[in-house]
Copies of this chain bind each other. A is one copy, B any other.
């Protein structure tokens, strides 16, 4: 395997990234398809000897999406002793002949899950060594994933849904200026259910994370909805502290 020296990485430790993008009212996830086994997987990687988990995750994301400065969140560590018993990477390496890294990929890995919310339009998906495809899949399109990656994806979604009730969301997923119906649609997509328009608006406005602009959406009907942008100072404060209004 080219350019990979397992001496540079910490044994037993890996990471997997659930990269969410929002496009045409669908929540999509960036996936890789492996060359030989054709299995689909989440983008992932290992931690270098002198790297933190966060640095490693940023590096993996940068490699797969071309993006820097992405909001990345650790959400769970997956450590079932059986999880890495059937790693398709091992099979792929075996098919390609004797590889010095076979032992590395055969070991037990404990993997930290990170999720990222990215601007769909700005991503240039790039496959890794094991894969020949890297593409966005809508949640409904995703069937089997390799190893426990389906479980990792589900846990990321569950975390994201819980976080909707105490942290802001939308920056990086929506265009810079957006309408209230667009923001509501994002929440409905993540929660997978319809929300009452007036309750939604009241709740969102009470958090004081939006600036209402003196501008309506272009190309719309006679009464096109007003545009909003995030009040980034309040948004980032709420991201750190939660919505203080809740107590």
The chain A residues found within 8 Å of chain B, CB to CB, are 10-13, 47, 49-54, 74, 76-77, 79-81, 108, 110, 112, 161-162, 164-167, 187, 191, 193, 195, 242-243, 246-247
Partner of A81, one of B12, B50, B80, B242: B50
Which residue of B54, B112, B165 contacts A165 across the interface (Cβ within 8 Å)?
B165
Give chain B nearest CB distance to A228 CB in angstroms. Answer: 19
Copies of this chain held together in the complex = 2
Chain B hits for A52, CB < 8 A: 79-81
Separation of A94 and B84 alpha carbons in the complex (Å): 36
**Which 7 A-B pairs have CB atoms at the shortest separation, nearest pair first?**
A165-B246, A53-B79, A52-B79, A162-B242, A165-B166, A10-B12, A11-B11
Q: Which residue of B lies closest to A165 (CB)?
A: B246
Given A79-B53, A80-B52, A81-B50, check contact A108 B165 (CB 8 Å). no
- A81 near B51 with CB under 8 A, answer yes
Nearest residue, chain B, Cβ from A109: B10
A47 CA / B242 CA spacing, docked (Å):
33
Which B residues are in CB contact (< 8 Å) with A242? 161-162, 165
Residues of B with C-beta under 8 A to A11: 10-12
A247–B10 CB distance below 8 A = no
Query: Which residue of the partner chain, among B79, B164, B247, contacts A164 with CB atoms under 8 Å?
Result: B247
Flag if B166 contacts A79 (CB, 8 Å): no
Is B110 in contact with A10, judged by CB distance below 8 angstroms?
yes
What are 25 A-B pairs with beta-carbon distances under 8 A? A11-B11, A11-B12, A12-B12, A12-B13, A13-B13, A13-B110, A47-B110, A49-B81, A50-B81, A52-B79, A52-B80, A53-B77, A53-B79, A53-B110, A54-B79, A74-B76, A77-B77, A162-B167, A162-B242, A164-B247, A165-B242, A165-B247, A166-B166, A191-B247, A193-B247
What would 4 more interface pairs be, CB under 8 Å, given A10-B108, A49-B81, A165-B242?
A11-B11, A13-B110, A161-B242, A165-B243
Residue on B nearest A110 in the bound complex, by CB:
B13
List residues of chain B with CB within 8 A of the CB of A246: 165
- A241 CB to nearest B CB, Å: 8
